[in-house]
Structure 1
Amino acid sequence: MNLPTWITVSRLLGVPLLLVLLQNPTGRSRWIALAIFLVAAGTDWLDGYLARKLNQVTDLGKFLDPLVDKLLVLAPLLMLIQLGQVPAWAVFLILARELAIAGWRVSQTTISGANVWGKLKTVSQIAAIALLICPPTMDTPAAAIAFWLSVGLTLVSGAIYVR
């Protein structure tokens, strides 16, 4: 495995920490969870940048990167359902899209990277989750707007990917 792939795999380390911190969140644990989430999300950009710059784009990296992204997004969303901040049916739509596209990708003979819609979807999800993880004193309509925008972009990007 090359450096970009190791960075992708290291992003997984943030997932269990997020789950623990959001299990019974306090203001402090939410700020820590937010920092971990943003660092982990930032490595998504870093691994892609390094893979391209170092000419180390691999099929393994193209496969693992979106899988790790899905885990990093879905883990906090599931905790946010438990906390009553997002409706389960909306998270189900996100999960269904992610599973459908993952299944679609596995059936392809070549693995393609994310298109611009997939990247917009990922950025919108990261922004929404970051706003939702913030302590309740920071809860604003912006978090709800960002969440519903990310749900919409998730569905649109899935439809475009399959088309």
Structure 2
Amino acid sequence: MCAAGTRWTRAVIVQAGQDGSAVWTVPNVVSMVRLALVPVFAVLIVTGEDVWALVVLAVSGASDWLDGYLARRLNQVTKLGQVLDPAADRLFILVTLVGLLWRGVVPWWVLAAVVLRDLLLACLAPVLARHGYGPLAVSLVGKTATFALLYAFPLLLLAETPGPVGAVSHAVGWAFAWWGIGLYWLAGWHYLVQTHRLVARGAGGERQEDPA
């Protein structure tokens, strides 16, 4: 049984490494689980199940790092994964912010800052496509911003706890949130500048991973 499982894993790794068309790879499954956790978190935050909501947020934050690491480690970088990972990140960030706003944990401008940045990137996509380019490659700044935001959310929710734990979580959580929002917009500016340069150059390019 163990040998059969090993042969199946190796077969998937080879398939993913050859043409990037594999679907059921380990990193893709991790991203799918993160997507499945989005409605779970929404229900938990609305019903006031803060402990389980914290668990879901922590798992989501860890899985965001894990799927990328496994994709590189296992040579399982796939076309689906390049779309699924940033899509899962954005959806989780959006739903989490809406939930935290509904609970009064974060002010409206936090949600507005994230949504406006994503709308900016959405406007860049047709411009790039019109000049023969696919979505821009993910940047280190963009990925760091996503990590910071995903780590800020459970801390901001934990900040609702009275006492020293809540106070420390409030300070650290908002530090992550400010860094995340700042880096999120810095990455957006980089994508805007990169788009301008590509359009000005007037040459085609290859499709790469969505910016995070």
TM-score surpassing 0.5?
yes
Tell me which residue corresponds to 1:156.
186
Tell me which residue corresponds to 2:176.
146
Alignment match of 1:69 (pick from 79, 82, 89): 89
Deviates more, 1:123-132 or 1:104-113: 104-113
Q: Does the 8 Å contact 1:59/1:111 carry over to 2? A: no
Tell me, in whole angstroms, the C-alpha distance in 2 between the residues paired with 1:72 and 1:131. Answer: 16
Amino acid at match of 1:76: T
Tell me, in whole angstroms, the C-alpha distance in 2 between the residues paired with 1:145 and 1:24. Answer: 27
1:117-163 superposed Cα distances (whole Å, 9 cap, x missing partner): 01110111012112112151225233233322222121111111222
Q: Alignment partner of 1:136: what SS?
A: coil
Q: Alignment partner of 2:77: what SS?
A: coil
Alignment of 1:14-163 (within 5 A): 14-25=37-48, 29-105=49-125, 107-108=128-129, 109-134=133-158, 136-137=160-161, 138-139=166-167, 140-163=170-193
Tell me, in whole angstroms, the C-alpha distance in 1 between the residues paired with 2:96 and 2:188. Answer: 21
After superposition, the Cα gap between the structure-2 partners of 1:92 and 1:67, relative to the gap in structure 1 and judged at 3 Å, is same
Instruction: Return 5+ residue gaps in structure 2 as ranges.
Output: 1-22, 194-212
Tell me, in whole angstroms, the C-alpha distance in 2 between the residues paired with 1:18 and 1:147. Answer: 19
- Structure 1 residue 116 displacement after superposition: 0.9
Tell me, in whole angstroms, the C-alpha distance in 2 between the residues paired with 1:159 and 1:116. Answer: 13
After superposition, the Cα gap between the structure-2 partners of 1:71 and 1:58, relative to the gap in structure 1 and judged at 3 Å, is same
1:5-54 superposed Cα distances (whole Å, 9 cap, x missing partner): 222112111111111111132xxx21211111111221222211121122
Q: Percent identity?
A: 33
Tell me which residue corresponds to 1:9.
32
Count of equivalent residues: 160
After superposition, the Cα gap between the structure-2 partners of 1:103 and 1:65, relative to the gap in structure 1 and judged at 3 Å, is farther
CA RMSD of aligned residues (A): 2.0
Amino acid at match of 2:181: V
Tell me, in whole angstroms, the C-alpha distance in 2 between the residues paired with 1:84 and 1:117. Answer: 29
Q: Alignment partner of 2:156: what SS?
A: helix
Give 1 or 2: higher helix fraction.
Answer: 1
- Structure 1 residue 113 displacement after superposition: 4.1
1:74-105 superposed Cα distances (whole Å, 9 cap, x missing partner): 11111111111212122111012123324535
Q: Alignment partner of 2:106: what SS?
A: coil
